[in-house]
Amino acid sequence: MAQPSKEPCKKEACDIQACLSKNNFLPQRCQRVIEMLQACCERCNNESTHCGSVAALLKQIKNAVPVTGIRQRCLRMVTSCVSNAQKSVLNGTTDAVSVVGREQIRLGLPSKGRMAADSLDLLKDCQLFVKQVNPRQYVAQIPQLPNTEVWFQRPKDIVRKLLSGDLDLGIVGLDIVGEFGQGNEDLIIVHEALNFGDCHLSLAIPNYGIFENIKSLKELAQMPQWTEERPLRVATGFTYLGPKFMKDNGIKHVTFSTADGALEAAPAMGIADAILDLVSSGTTLKENNLKEIEGGVVLKSQAALVASRRALTERKGALETVHEVLERLEAHLKADGQFTVVANMRGTDAEEVAERVKTQPSLTGLQGPTISPVYCKRDGKVSIEYYAIVICVPKKALYESVQQLRAVGGSGVLVSPLTYIFDEETPRWSQLLSKLGL
């Protein structure tokens, strides 16, 4: 194997050093960051794209660089440095044992089942149109994100492939993240509430026989029937989360069996005493004479945007792509629950109208009402008698708000859907940076 080259680092190393020194960082600290960067690139030359030392380097930068702007510049330089090191391997400048080089960011979407159509619809609502030529084609493009390709996969494979580095981002249920991610720190939840795929993972027992009066997990655990020889038998598809939940709750005498579906039949078939499965409407439990119990919810789930930490810190453009996707998602999801309400109000001036509006609890809008004069022509003269008030109102509080508007003299109330609310910065973006140690 050829000697690893430190060349790709040189320019970035100088830039980072200059940036840090210019901002009064101690020379030893700068030096340490640069050494780590160079060691990291050596390893990238030698090993693969998944050089774990980048994470350590980023942590070091976090400690050394408290100012967000400078920290982000350093991060970009590090990413570019590492990707140069990788490119030099691909171009043959340096040998490598195995390098998975790819330019495109990969987003995994559910290929079928409950989550598939909803994932595409959500992206569409964010003006991200997935172009899939036919439904059996597993790769697709999003013209609005030219550096990103979509790969359709089964939800559990999305999580597995995020962990193996074959996908960078994905949309899956939090249940699948918990079950197949198993707390792996490389999986980062970028947005935990995409507003579809709602369900919960729950323990359920028959509502007849020895279970008739059992109402809680505690009571279930204390039943004298369960012994080492005859443990509580639980049927579940969640073979990681199930045992973990029982252990965390101190339930000792328990065994698990698994099946791919129709688990609700297991107690009546005599295969299990209880089941641990997803519930949404509760119909399947009810139809099979099963009930949930207090303390039996393992987790609440809905669709989430998940990313690979390594991809975000090492793959060129990944962080920027996540930022854009996150902004679009947040703008859409925030607006989704709101209406824009416009009404006219008679008044002497804008402040007086504002005072009246503010007496009503549902009329404050996002930051406060926008009030503007309505110019009308009377006897050939332009005058202001009315003011238009514009507010955002939660959909649930619409009627209440209309009543409150009327109560303070509002008339001609217009209600229209709100499509996007772009905040100054999305709170989840700063949370993501902090999870990444940036």
Ligand X SMILES: O=P(O)(O)OC[C@H]1O[C@H](OP(=O)(O)OP(=O)(O)O)[C@H](O)[C@@H]1O
Ligand Y SMILES: Nc1ncnc2c1ncn2[C@@H]1O[C@H](COP(=O)(O)OP(=O)(O)OP(=O)(O)O)[C@@H](O)[C@H]1O
Cβ pair 198, 299 in contact under 8 A: no
Determine whether 48 is exposed, middle or buried from the number of CB atoms within 10 Å of its CB (0-12, 13-18, 19+). Answer: middle
* Chosen residue from 4, 8, 108, 155 binding ligand Y by CB under 6 A: 155
What are the backbone angles phi and psi of residue 202, rounded to the nearest 5°? -145, 150
Cβ pair 69, 11 in contact under 8 A: no
Q: Which is nearer to ligand X, 237 or 410 (CB)?
A: 237
Scored b (16 or more CB within 10 A) or e, 182-216 reads: eeeebbbbbbeebebbebbbbbbbbbeeebeebbe
Q: What is the CA radius of gyration of the chain?
A: 28
Compute the residue count for the chain.
438
Q: Return the residues of window 102-141 that contact ligand Y according to CB under 6 A.
A: 113-115
Size of the site for ligand Y (CB under 6 A): 14
Which of ligand Y, ligand X, none has residue 115 at its interface (CB below 5 to 8 Å by kind)?
A: ligand Y
With CB under 6 A as the contact rule, which of the stretches 44-52, 122-130, 170-178, 325-333 interacts with ligand Y?
170-178
Q: Which is nearer to ligand Y, 200 or 356 (CB)?
A: 200
Taking the C-alpha atoms of residue 13 and residue 70, their distance in angstroms, rounded to an integer, is 14
Shortest distance, CB of residue 277 to ligand X, whole angstroms?
5
Give the binding site for ligand X (CB under 6 A): 261-262, 264, 277-284
Shortest distance, CB of residue 280 to ligand Y, whole angstroms?
4
Which of ligand X, ligand Y, none has residue 175 at its interface (CB below 5 to 8 Å by kind)?
A: ligand Y
Q: Which is nearer to ligand Y, 197 or 437 (CB)?
A: 197
Shortest distance, CB of residue 112 to ligand X, whole angstroms?
11
**DSSP letter string, 72-88:** HHHHHHHHHHHHHHHHH
Taking the C-alpha atoms of residue 419 and residue 251, their distance in angstroms, rounded to an integer, is 48
Q: Which is nearer to ligand X, 70 or 278 (CB)?
A: 278
Q: Which is nearer to ligand Y, 262 or 376 (CB)?
A: 262
Shortest distance, CB of residue 135 to ligand Y, whole angstroms?
15
Which of ligand Y, ligand X, none has residue 262 at its interface (CB below 5 to 8 Å by kind)?
A: ligand X
